[in-house]
Structure 1
Amino acid sequence: MMKKQRYLERLKTKNKFSGSFYVDPRGMAGGLALWWTEGVSITITKDSINFIDTLVSLNGEEPWQCMFIYGPPHTTDKHQFWANFQQIRKNATIKWCVIGDVNIVADQSEKEGGAPVKCSQAKWFLDFMEASGLIELPIKGGMFTWSNMRSNSIAIAERLDKILISNEWSLAYPKAIGMLEATVTSDHNPIIVSL
């Protein structure tokens, strides 16, 4: 077990999570960690450097698909990733939810500061959303989920973290909301889904 995973396992135990799954980073970048508590049954169906695909069952209810995502940060990888992701969605036959850092803003309103939004990247993401029949669950508590931690004229803030849901998922959890929490050490704010 990697040194980083040993640290994460200690943190998981300290915070009373009962289950875990990890995707190792490549070099110093990336890596994913998924933790869950008692009463939540998670089956890992597929994983990659960019996502952990799961079946989630809460307290014995009918399972639904949830994908925890870290979208590629490099432009050269984004188009292929969203095309592949669309194929995964085509094969989904149950309620579906995607949570995480998509690493794309959908339009200029989701960015403040820095260079303008690249329309081609936004189009890849929006095409995926449309073809997949997903909608964004609104997140309360702020517009932007990431910042470059700078101030004044070099400050940049973006809405990179999203919660995407299928219509079936929305009907099963009509009171679900997303919440943006304050960050402590990261340049991303944590997002929480409350059912």
Structure 2
Amino acid sequence: MNNDLSWQCIFVYENLVFQRRRKLWKELTESNMNKEESQAFSGDFNDVLSQDEKVSIHPQPRIYLETFRRFVDDNGLIDVDLKGSKFT
């Protein structure tokens, strides 16, 4: 498109440690609040929005699900459906 709209793309590869992921979500949310231009977050957040996305026999702790879902909601993010193998 030929327009003068500017936007940012933030590529994310989250830490496996929940406390570190939560810290980055807080920083991204605070940064996002002050932006006038559109932003897209793309990458691997190393988290799930529901138990249906979890492959392990151990369920994801509810606090993990709720915290990640709040981050997604607070930033107006959408989960893009993937095509092909579910867990790749």
C-alpha separation in 1, matches of 2:59 and 2:35? 34
Aligned to 2:73: 130
Structure 1 residue 125, shift from structure 2 partner: 1.2
Aligned to 1:106: 49
Q: 2:22 aligns with which of 62, 65, 79?
A: 79
Structure 1 residue 102, shift from structure 2 partner: 0.3
C-alpha separation in 2, matches of 1:59 and 1:70? 31
CA RMSD of aligned residues (A): 2.0
TM-score between both structures, scaled by the size of structure 2: 0.81
TM-score between both structures, scaled by the size of structure 1: 0.40
C-alpha separation in 1, matches of 2:15 and 2:34? 22
Structure 1: gaps (5+ residues): 1-57, 146-195
Structure 1 residue 118, shift from structure 2 partner: 1.6
- Tell me how many residue pairs correspond in the alignment: 88
Structure 1 residue 92, shift from structure 2 partner: 2.3
Structure 1 residue 123, shift from structure 2 partner: 1.4
| More helix by percentage | 2
C-alpha separation in 2, matches of 1:92 and 1:140? 31
Greater relative CO, 1 or 2 (CA 8 Å, sep 6+):
2
Q: Which one has a bigger Cα radius of gyration? A: 1
Structure 2: gaps (5+ residues): none
| More strand by percentage | 1
